[in-house]
Amino acid sequence: DKGNYRHFMLKEIHEQPVVVAQTLQSYLRPVEEQVALPQMDFDLSTVERVVIVACGTASYVGMVGKYWIESLARLPVEVDFASEFRYREPVLDGRILGVVISQSGETADTLAALRHMKANGVTTAGIINVPTSSMAREVDLLMPTHAGPEIGVASTKAFTCQLAVMAALAANLARARGKLTPEAERYIVHQLTEAPAAMNAALACDEAIAAVAKTISTARDVLYLGRGPEYPMALEGALKLKEISYIHAEGYASGEMKHGPIALIDENVPLIVLAPAGPLFDKTVSNMQEAQARGAQVVLISDAEGIAQAGDNCIATIEMPKVAPLIAPLVYAVPIQLLAYHVAVAKGTDVDQPRNLAKSVTVE
C-alpha cells in the first residue's frame, strides 16, 4: 500500500527516519550509552581483518564501512563486489570476519561469496533485511536491518538501515579491541540516536530538490563528487540516478577529478557535490571550483556553514542539517535519493519498476 504517496520509492524514502530508529534500537543501549550486537559465539577482539562482500547499493555500505571500521577500530578492511570476490581466489588466511550485506538475502553472487568464505573457515556476519532469507540462515552472526519490506526496486530505506548497522558494527569492533573510550562510545551513541531526526530534517529539502530536478532531467550525463565516506555516497547517488531516470551518471572521489573525469566537464554536465562542512570540506570545494572554472553547473549539497562558504556560483544549494561526520552518510542519502526520484518523475520513467532491473538478482 502506497498510502498517500505517488510511488513506493517516495514512501520508502520518507519511512527512513522511522525504520532507521527501529533498526538502531537493536544496536544501541541508550541508558548505558553503549553500542551492542546480537549474541554471538565468537570473540570480536580476535578479528585481524574484515572482508566485506556485497553487490550494488549494498556494496557502497561496505565502502562506507571501510572508512568507519578502519578509523574507529583500526582494523584493515577489504571491500569487494561479490561477483569479483569469488572468482579471484581471495586470500583468506588469518582471523577474518567476513561480512555480507544484502537487502534480499538471496543475491546469487553474495550468497555464493558467503558460502565460499564459510568453506574456507571464515567467521561470517550478515547485515540482512529479509530475516527468512538464505543468507540470514547461513551467516554465523545475523545483524538484521528492520527496514520492513522494500517494494521499490531502487533500494532506499534498506540502504540507510544497512549504514546504521554498519556504524554499530564498527563501534562494536572498536570497543572489543579496546580502541573506544567510554566517552567516545557515548558520543557515538548520541550521534546515532540523533540520526533519525537529522534524516527527517533532510527530508525538508524535497521542494528545493524537485525544483533543480527539472534542470537535471535534461542532462545526458551527471557527475557526483564526494570525499571520505561521501565518496561511496557519490557512487550511490550516481547509481540511483542511472537506475530510475536512465541518465548516465558517475560518482568520483573528489580528488580524482583532475586525473581524468574533469575532461568531461562543460556547461552541459551537471555536477552534484556532497560536501558536509568539516575537515574535508575545503579540499572538496577546491575540486568543485576547478570544475566550475570549466563551466560546470554545480548543485552543492552541504550544511548552512558549507553553503555560506561555497554556495555562491552554484545553480542550486541543498541545505542539510549540520551533523557529525559519522552520521553524514545517513543524512546525505536522503537528498541523493530524492534527486533521482524527482528527475525520474520529471522524465516520466517507471520509478518503482525501472526497465531491465529486478528486485532480487538470483542469477550470477
| Distance (Å, whole) CA 299 – CA 226 | 12
Q: Which three cell numbers stand for residue 298?
A: 554545480
Whole-number Cα distances in Å, 235 to 72, 128, 214: 23, 21, 21
| Distance (Å, whole) CA 141 – CA 136 | 9
| Cβ proximity of 297 and 215 under 8 Å | yes
Q: Judging by beta carbons within 10 Å of its beta carbon (0-12, 13-18, 19+), is residue 333 exposed, middle or buried?
A: buried
Q: How far is the CB of 82 from ligand F6R (least distance, A)?
A: 8
Nearer to ligand F6R, 56 or 321 (CB): 56
| Cβ proximity of 63 and 53 under 8 Å | no
Which residue type occupies 250?
Answer: E
Name the residues that contact ligand F6R, by CB under 6 A.
55-58, 102-104, 107, 110, 154-155, 239, 243, 360-361
Q: Which of 118, 179, 347, 359 is catalytic?
A: 359
| Distance (Å, whole) CA 228 – CA 67 | 7
Nearer to ligand F6R, 244 or 271 (CB): 244
Nearer to ligand F6R, 55 or 136 (CB): 55
Q: How far is the CB of 294 from ligand F6R (least distance, A)?
A: 31
Whole-number Cα distances in Å, 135 to 59, 116, 138, 334: 16, 12, 5, 27
Question: 264 — phi, psi (to 5°)?
Answer: -80, -15
Nearer to ligand F6R, 237 or 270 (CB): 237
Nearer to ligand F6R, 107 or 284 (CB): 107
Name the DSSP letter for residue 139.
-
| Cβ proximity of 316 and 299 under 8 Å | yes
Q: Which three cell numbers stand for residue 319?
A: 541545505
Q: How far is the CB of 160 from ligand F6R (least distance, A)?
A: 12
Q: How far is the CB of 165 from ligand F6R (least distance, A)?
A: 13
Nearer to ligand F6R, 108 or 176 (CB): 108
E strand or H helix that includes residue 133:
none
| Distance (Å, whole) CA 306 – CA 224 | 17
Nearer to ligand F6R, 257 or 345 (CB): 345
Pairing type for strands 221-226 and 248-253 reads parallel
Name the DSSP letter for residue 5.
-
Q: How far is the CB of 316 from ligand F6R (least distance, A)?
A: 24
Can 359 be counted among the known catalytic residues? Answer: yes
What do you get for the CA distance between the two ends of the chain, in Å?
31
Q: How far is the CB of 291 from ligand F6R (least distance, A)?
A: 26
Q: How far is the CB of 191 from ligand F6R (least distance, A)?
A: 25
Residue nearest to ligand F6R (CB): 56
What residues are labeled active site? 359
